[in-house]
Structure 1
């Protein structure tokens, strides 16, 4: 494995967690285990496990976690078992990817018939932005999980720091057809919320929306970016300069409510 690439990915993950830190939270930096532990619902816990040196520390931390995400590299098989057996954690396979240099980001315009608009997720966002609920509805329909995930997704997006921006591609009638988002954390950017209406796929829209999110991160001062990719999206991100860091299992558990 490329240890330099893994180290860059860990640094980007930690930078994101540091921005989300609140009093009462714990920044975690143990062998093979990194992130933010929270006993509250806002911000939620975010942990990254890179290898099985983290077993004991991970098992102890999970006892006090109310909800959040735990991303476990495939090599950490024992840690994967610890999370899976802890109860309530829903697994999803994700490929961790990293762009080491955003200055070389290629252009990827939206196809004709679509326009890029901001999404209004906070009161201070542009009033003419696309309503968050409209964008979330498209994202949940594009990536169905067999249950109502719209409200948890909207709550999660609202909880992200102000440096996060969400975008929507709307058609000539103003209907949302695709989404994306990016957050800047120092010199690091994240890519989130990438989805495309199934009836509009295979037109390069996912690549264009990802490029729009990354372009925002770059203009805000980020030089690198990290993300978690589904199998069908890996090629899109590779064309935008991303490299595969590791195969992971991303576990999610909603807080009590």
Structure 2
């Protein structure tokens, strides 16, 4: 299978993961057009988890315009996701019309899983409902943002989704990193790799990522995918992830 094929499958799995997240929320919404464009409302206080996403390589500006006009997006901060760097100017126009005047590249990375990923990760453990506050607090510290923003990720409705798994990495009983994995078929999305500033450059982000890959491989996943931040990109490269493509994200004030 080529990297292009792998990226296509992983992109569909990413959208499937967002569908699961939206479905876990009382006021969540997910709909998808036959052309592969989706409207997503999770209600999370992060624009990247609400909005319009086009996962085909030739997205329809008309579909994006139609979904971008949805009244459901009026109550949330949202974005438009399009695969690739070279975006149709009609889509740029749709984004501008809705005040999404900034754009940024978002690396989409993939990695084949192998039996080597089944190795034990002794300092990482899968969280239970009793770990919610510690998980939320550690994640917030890692992203250097207020704790309430991360409530959704610690809710049982999310952590207990079919195929979902949240992890804490601990050293001498102290939480030093978080991660979250979500299985979609034989793909696993890697999310919420967060390491508080005091614990960075010690390999804990690698451990948190490895915990997701370990359990996902055991559950039948054979490909992992993620969107990388600038800080995380070198780590994922070192762990064998390949840059499949950049996506373009339109956001307010990006």
TM-score scaled by length of structure 2: 0.74
Residues in 2 aligned to 1:162 and 1:252: alpha-carbon distance in whole angstroms: 30
Q: Tell me if 1:27 matches 2:32.
A: yes
Correspondences of 1:23-172 after superposition (within 5 Å): 25-30=30-35, 33-35=36-38, 37-38=39-40, 41=43, 47-49=53-55, 51=57, 53-64=59-70, 65-66=72-73, 67=76, 70-73=80-83, 74-76=85-87, 78=89, 79-80=91-92, 82-83=94-95, 85-87=97-99, 93-105=105-117, 107=119, 109=121, 115-120=123-128, 125=129, 127=130, 130=131, 132-144=132-144, 148=146, 150-158=147-155, 159-160=157-158, 161-172=161-172
Deviations 1:130-174 (A, max 9, x none): 2x23222222222236xx4x32322245353232111011231x3
**Which is further off, 95-104 or 175-184?**
95-104
SS in 2 for 1:193: strand
Does the 8 A contact of 1:15 with 1:188 survive in 2?
Answer: no
Partner of 1:248: 247
Partner of 1:234: 233
CA RMSD of aligned residues (A): 3.5
Does the 8 A contact of 1:169 with 1:177 survive in 2?
Answer: yes
Does the 8 A contact of 2:138 with 2:196 survive in 1?
Answer: yes
Per-residue deviation, 1:249? 3.9
Residues in 2 aligned to 1:206 and 1:165: alpha-carbon distance in whole angstroms: 16
Does the 8 A contact of 1:51 with 1:75 survive in 2?
Answer: no
- Could you list the runs of 5+ residues in structure 1 that have no partner in the other structure? none
Per-residue deviation, 1:227? 0.7
Does the 8 A contact of 1:118 with 1:168 survive in 2?
Answer: yes
Does the 8 A contact of 1:109 with 1:208 survive in 2?
Answer: yes
Partner of 2:181: 182
SS in 2 for 1:248: strand
Per-residue deviation, 1:2? 4.7
How many residues were matched structurally? 234
- Could you list the runs of 5+ residues in structure 2 that have no partner in the other structure? none
SS in 2 for 1:221: coil
